[in-house]
Amino acid sequence: MDLSAAILAAGAARRPQEQRRSAKEDEGTAPLSLPGSGENIPEELDPRIRRFREIEKDVLAHEAAHAVSTGGMGWPVVYRYATGPDGRRYIVGGHVTIGVPKGRTPEEQLRILSRVIGAALANPDPSPGDKAAARWAARAELEALRELQAARRDSLEELDLESLLPTFGAEL
């Protein structure tokens, strides 16, 4: 799941020294105040922080769905972080790498690739990277199907049908 530049513009990419500026120098990093009260708004009410928390929650759920659906073929989730206006690091993206072993048979390869497609599309709103992984696996799945068909065609050609006919009592 990738973030757009608009989300990063919400203060995610600020360096710590920029966060120490006074409110007069940079209102984007200063705590919000209640009008006329001089009191700071709690972090929970700052819309920028709420947005970072929402993004983090969405990314965690998205990547967990991928990790669970790999069926043991995936590596641990790798997260990307951004620093919020409160100085805390938030998860803003991530990915799960899926190992795709070569099956011993075309049938086994089809099962593996089917699992990859399922893992890539495990979320109701797949990212562009998820869709690309599913497309790659679907192309590989087509190749495995071609190999399976070729193997079956070869095995049929090798059969000596005339030697089987007397077994069934048929005459040509």
Residue 71, pLDDT score = 80
The answer to pTM > 0.75 is: no
Residue 52, pLDDT score = 94
Mean pLDDT in consecutive groups of 10 residues from the start of the chain, 172 residues: 33 33 35 45 77 95 91 89 93 92 88 93 92 94 90 76 60 54
Q: How far is CA 148 from CA 40, 86, 141, 159, in A?
A: 67, 57, 10, 17
Residue 105, pLDDT score = 86
Residue 83, pLDDT score = 94
Residue 18, pLDDT score = 34
Residue 6, pLDDT score = 31
Give CA angle at 93 (141, 21), nearest 5°.
165
